[in-house]
Structure 1
Amino acid sequence: MAGNLRILRIALWTTVVLALAALVWFQVVEPRLNQPAGMHSDLGKGDYQLVTTDGQPFTEDSMKGQPTAVFFGFTHCPDVCPTTLGEVMAWQEDLEAEDQELRVLFVTVDPERDTQEILGEYVSWVPGVTGITGTPEEIAKATRAFRVYARKAPLNEGGYNVDHSTQVLLFDAQGEYFGLIGYQEPHERAMGTLRRLLAG
């Protein structure tokens, strides 16, 4: 009986912690990201030293050169990440019909499991997507630089999941924050935002 009460107490506290984390995200972090782009001139800026799945270094300077969409996720993600990659595929199909392509960066929030090889295979089916990983310390720097929420969540059966932000962050060719696309945002609205980004 005491053991059952202990398990129930842990489950309740886990629920409370997750609810508070979600509250902070929806009430504080996401509204700030939705503010005008000029208020986020430092977004994506930092001293992180990561690596792409094809072995190239990735730093703040790598954000420059072409419009870019950045998504933080992980290969063991049960729902948000595969759904978002499916949406990216649909965006790329529409953009291809308009002779355009978007550079998309998938940055892992689970560097312990997401090696270059594993991450590269995971994103390989979507055109224009490059996986990015690094040491846990450098990934932590990157999540701070992009103001992304990411936290390990232990699973009852062992192992862990990673709770993380779900939005796709957009940057112009100068590496400056442009805006975002929300999780499961209607396709046409997302395409309108992407067309404005690529037209700039």
Structure 2
Amino acid sequence: MDAVTDNLDLWWGGFLRSLGIAAWAAVGSLLLGTLIAVFRVSPVPVLRSVGATYVTLLRNTPLTVLLFAIAFGLPPVGVNASFYVFGVVGLILYTAAFVCEAVRSGIATVPVGQAEAARAIGLTFGQSLGLVILPQAMRAVVPPVGNVLIAMIKNSAVVGAIGVGGDLFSVHNRLTSALGYSQLSSAAGMAIGFLIMTLTAGALLAVAERRMAVAR
């Protein structure tokens, strides 16, 4: 464990960097995933097709392939940004497909009568979805969405592979390649960092799930 104890400052910086990647990706994937879920249940056929195509493509594309396609495929066509931005965007696009399906499954748990009642009092599709259906569906999607976000935190390690720099994966590479620490001890430091993030996220989601259960 000398790779950890001798380099606490590096690990702390890497932890904060990885935490930032996960936090931005969580917010972005929740927003985009919910939007795609709305597309998937929309009465407009074009929107349903767009949503279904997005989910099918992104869920069946390896995250590493997507990240490298964004980071090294966009600059040649004039889209330039830092690897950090490219990594976060790729993680958002990938995770949103799984969030979408979790949200859509929650929408399916809401009784059909709720939507019919909303239409009966003159609410539009958007109003009934936003005011009646989604608030009830969100209570059912906390566990599955939580699992998706925890998986996303672990997937954020892959973002380091495109050269983001400063994250836990990059610290691990620096310690093993440049400073000569063993792979095992350095990997332990990286694992501890991600373990702290996932356990904290799991505890917060458990609190949210209990509160939602009380709200029922």
TM > 0.5: no
Max Rg structure: 2
Q: Give the helix-richer structure, 1 or 2.
A: 2
Higher relative contact order (CA closer than 8 Å, sequence separation 6+): 2
TM-score by length of 2: 0.26
TM-score by length of 1: 0.28
